[in-house]
Amino acid sequence: VEVYHELHVRFQQQQQVQHNNNKNKRIRFGLKCPGVLYRSHDMNIYKTYFPNTKFIVGIRHPVMWFESFYNYQVGRNVLLPASTSSLIGKCENHQKVCTDRARFHAALARLRKTPLVEKEEVDLLFGTRYEGNYNNTSSLHPPQQQRRFLNSSKHKKQQDGFPNQLLLFEVRQLHQNDTTPRKLSETLRNYLDIQSDLPPI
C-alpha cells in the first residue's frame, strides 16, 4: 500500500504539471501485488482511501500454481526439499512455498463479495483440512474459533462489503480458443475505460 500511495502522489503531481502546461492527458497506473489480498489491513486502506481503484485478479489451478512457484523459487537458488510432501500445509520457518498459499479462496474472501454469515460457507473458507470443525475437538480450527470468527466485531464490520470494482479471471481462459485473448482484451479495455484498443492478452 505504501508503494501504491507513493505512485498515487507522484502521478497526481505529474498530472498537475501537465494541467499547468495545458496538456489534457489522463494517466493510469497500476501495481502488481498479490500479497495485498492476504493482508486485511491493506484491504481496509484501499477501501477507505482508494475506493475507486479497480482490482484485476487472475487465478490458476492450485496444483499448476504450486508447480510453477516451486520451480520459480528453485530457479532463484532457494533451497527446497526434493520431495514436496513436506510442503503440504502451512509455510513453516519463513519458507515461501507451501500448499496453503494456494488456498486462493481465503484471499478472495477478503474482497467481501459474499456475506460469509452461513456456517457452511465459513467451513469452506477454513478449508477441507478443517472439515467437521464443529464436531472435531482436535481440529486445528476448533468450534470456538469459528464461532469467534462469525461473532467478531471485525468480521461484522467487514460484511459492509468492499467498494472497489473487481475483474476476476482464470488463466486457462487465455488458452480456450483463438478468440479468447482478443475478447479478454476488450473486456479489460472496457473495464479500465480505455479508448484505444489493447493488444491480445
DSSP string, 148-198: HHHH-HHHHHHTT---S-EEEEEGGGGGSSTTHHHHHHHHHHHHTT-SS--
The whole-number pLDDT of residue 75 equals 94
Cell 479497480 found at: 54
Domain boundaries along the sequence of the chain: 1-31, 114-160
Residues 6 or more apart whose Cβ sits within 8 Å of residue 5: 49
The whole-number pLDDT of residue 1 equals 64
User: Rounded to 5 degrees, what angle do the CA atoms 22, 53, 149 make?
Assistant: 160
Please provide the average confidence, as pLDDT, over all residues in the chain. Answer: 76
Stretch 81-91: mean pLDDT, rounded? Answer: 89
Q: Are 138 and 27 in contact (CB under 8 A)?
A: no
> Given a cut of 80, is residue 132 above it in pLDDT?
no
The whole-number pLDDT of residue 76 equals 92
pLDDT digits (tens, 9 = 90+) for 111-130: 877 777 777 777 777 655 54
The whole-number pLDDT of residue 82 equals 87
The whole-number pLDDT of residue 89 equals 87
